[in-house]
Amino acid sequence: MPTSDAVRGRMSRQRARDTGVEVALRKALHALGLRYRVHRKPLPGVRREVDVVFGRARVAVFVDGCFWHGCPEHATWPRNNAEFWRAKIEANRTRDRDTDRRFAESGWAVVRVWEHEDPAVAAERVREVVARRR
């Protein structure tokens, strides 16, 4: 079944950056005294934008939406246009694994934060990784 105009419109309005979850995480990181860059592509030749970047420590933080990245706890599989959405979400997961591999091969640590995580807890996890790499 094709996607309805209402669903297509709703999906097209989903923010790709500066989402509420990203902003909450950045505020929590800032409150911990961490300074960072946002929405950067730190690896030359790799078209992957990182949500939060700690350049000197070489830590890349990605904030993943439960729907778009197939969260093991909260992923939902739409019934309408199911084949399309399953292929889309699985392609996102495959790309995420490829991104993690490419960054690791280049000496970066990747931290993935799910949108359902408590921003303060996630920020503490990020702080620990950054501190170990400084």
Per-residue model confidence as pLDDT tens digits over 87-111: 999 999 999 999 999 999 999 999 9
Is the per-residue pLDDT at 64 higher than 60?
yes
| Tens digits of residue pLDDT in 35-62 | 999 999 999 999 999 999 999 999 999 9
d(CA 42, CA 48): 8
Judge whether 28 and 120 are in contact, CB under 8 Å. Answer: yes
The pLDDT, as a whole number, for residue 2 is 59
Judge whether 78 and 70 are in contact, CB under 8 Å. Answer: no
Query: How many helices (H) and strands (E) would you count in the chain?
Result: 4, 4
